[in-house]
Amino acid sequence: MHATPMAGLPGMAYAATPALVDRDTLVGASALGLVPLLLAGVVVLVKWWRGRDEMFGGVTPGLLPPDGTAGSRHRVRGGEWSGTVAPVFAPPPDVRPGVVGTVVDGVADPHDVSATLLDLAVRGWFRIVDVRTERDERPRDWELHRVGPAPAETTTAFEQLLLDRIFEARDVVRLSALKGSFGLTMREAQIGLYREVVDRGWYARHPRARNGRTRAAGLAVLVPSSLAAAVLVVAGLVDAHDWSLTPVLVGLVAALAVLARWGGARTPRTAEGTALRIQALGFREYLATAEADRLRFEEKRALLSSYLPYAVAFGLTGHFAGLLRDLAQESHWTDYVDGLDWYDFGGSGPDGDDLALGDALGDVADAATWMSDPGDLLDGVDGFTDAADSLFSFDGLTGCGDGCDLPGCDLPGCDLAGCDF
């Protein structure tokens, strides 16, 4: 309390006025306001600690412990491993390009599904025919031709889903005809990539799950508490001009902001997942730095066939075009191009049939009549994957971009159990 002189009265007459703050209440409210903020900080710290990748100890990064041993495990400092990788001259065994791309960055993006489509073509499930239009204003298009008999191999569930939905009892389909209706299928394949990385033990849970149950519980408590504190503060200011409880409101709102922003945690990779990621990064390093004059014969053949989908998944198609230019200068160029009949450029070869990739690469002189640069031979492949990326269309399905059950998405994605398509 304090007093002010009364104007117009003799002597020292005073009148009481309301206090703006009660110091004892302010101290208690300040201490109380720190409690939710400190608790939110503890939650964020624990989430960060548990969100770091696992890694095997006692072995070279990227390798697994010897057979029959579990190996020691520890958390990676900084979240995920970021050391120097040595080039690895082959992709991780028995892991397809789209899966590799998903493990590397934890996201099954459209290009990973497109790389899967290209990989299926390379493996002989269908042939891609570049449909070249005569009118420049018409968009470029591709036809997918089913190949029979089917290759003697087993596809994964999401690969078979793509094949079934593409052809649907037909042998030929244009990529442009899949626009719109195929978007949902592409997303189901995207979820299939997430399911595979979990089923094979590289992630314990969906890589895009935010593990926000603790955050959700905290927000469920903090939101009504903040509203109640706001009511008390406003009532105190109106009735007694007292803002002593303001620190409580500030602490609750700050804790609310901290939990909303940082209360979720990334899904960490298992130690096996970290080892696979390091192997994949090593293979990517090899593809990104490969030079034609230093490659062995077997590697040159693999680069132009089975390695191409991995390059697409890693975003290295441009570097492949450069390698192609260099390889085309070698005298025994045609030795590398056998078996590249999965892509036809839509032109005509010597026998009148479609000009396949292997045919064009096998005789650069003939190909040059309609293609000025050997490196441009990959433009069609790159264009195909870009067009396949564009098949991801989720009109009316907001929040469905990464296969996770975000608000507004009516398809399961984060909880892999019980997902039936």
Q: What is the per-residue pLDDT for 198?
A: 93
Q: Does a structural domain hold residue 420?
A: no
Q: Where is mean pLDDT largest: 109-113, 235-239, 304-308?
A: 109-113
**Same domain, yes or no: 304 and 191:** yes
Gap between the Cα atoms of 412 and 415, Å rounded: 7
Q: How many percent of the chain have pLDDT more than 90?
A: 15
Three-class secondary structure of residue 100 per DSSP: helix
Residues 6+ apart with CB under 8 A from 153: 123
Q: Does a structural domain hold residue 11?
A: no
Q: 245 forms bridges with which residues in the sheet? A: none
Residue 298 · residue 334 · CB < 8 Å:
no
**pLDDT (tens digit per residue) in 313-348:** 888 877 777 777 777 677 666 666 665 678 776 554
Q: What is the per-residue pLDDT for 25?
A: 76
pLDDT at residue 102 is higher than 90: yes
**Same domain, yes or no: 235 and 366:** no
**pLDDT (tens digit per residue) in 146-178:** 988 888 888 998 899 999 999 988 899 988 888
| Through-space distance between the first and last CA atoms of the chain, rounded to whole angstroms | 71
Compute the average pLDDT of residues 63-87. Answer: 83
Q: What is the per-residue pLDDT for 357?
A: 53
Residue 315 · residue 284 · CB < 8 Å:
no
Site of tokens 């998903």: 102
- The model scores a pTM over 0.95: no
Q: Does a structural domain hold residue 406?
A: no
Q: Does a structural domain hold residue 158?
A: yes
Strands 343-348 vs 126-131: parallel, antiparallel or unpaired = parallel
DSSP for 117-139? HHHHHHTTSEEEEEE--SSTTSP
Compute the average pLDDT of residues 37-57. Answer: 84
**Same domain, yes or no: 132 and 115:** yes
**Same domain, yes or no: 201 and 225:** no
Q: Does a structural domain hold residue 377?
A: yes
pLDDT at residue 394 is higher than 50: no
**Same domain, yes or no: 89 and 110:** yes
Gap between the Cα atoms of 386 and 377, Å rounded: 15
Q: Does a structural domain hold residue 162?
A: yes
| 238 C-beta neighbours (distance < 10 Å), count | 9
Domain residues for 290? 57-209+268-389
Q: Which residue has the higher pLDDT, 240 or 402?
A: 240
**Same domain, yes or no: 77 and 222:** no
Q: Report the chain's C-alpha Rg in angstroms.
A: 31
**Same domain, yes or no: 257 and 362:** no
**Same domain, yes or no: 151 and 41:** no
**Same domain, yes or no: 253 and 366:** no
**Same domain, yes or no: 283 and 340:** yes
Compute the average pLDDT of residues 397-408. Answer: 43
Q: How many percent of the chain have pLDDT more than 70?
A: 69
User: CA of 72: how far to CAs of 53, 59, 272, 319, in Å?
Assistant: 14, 9, 12, 39
Q: What is the per-residue pLDDT for 410?
A: 39
Number of domains in the chain: 2
**Same domain, yes or no: 287 and 273:** yes
> Which DSSP category does 416 fall into?
-
Q: What is the per-residue pLDDT for 195?
A: 92
The residue length of the chain stands at 421
Q: What is the per-residue pLDDT for 19?
A: 53
User: CA of 400: how far to CAs of 17, 394, 396, 417, in Å?
Assistant: 59, 7, 10, 18
**Same domain, yes or no: 377 and 307:** yes
Q: Does a structural domain hold residue 416?
A: no
Q: What is the per-residue pLDDT for 420?
A: 36
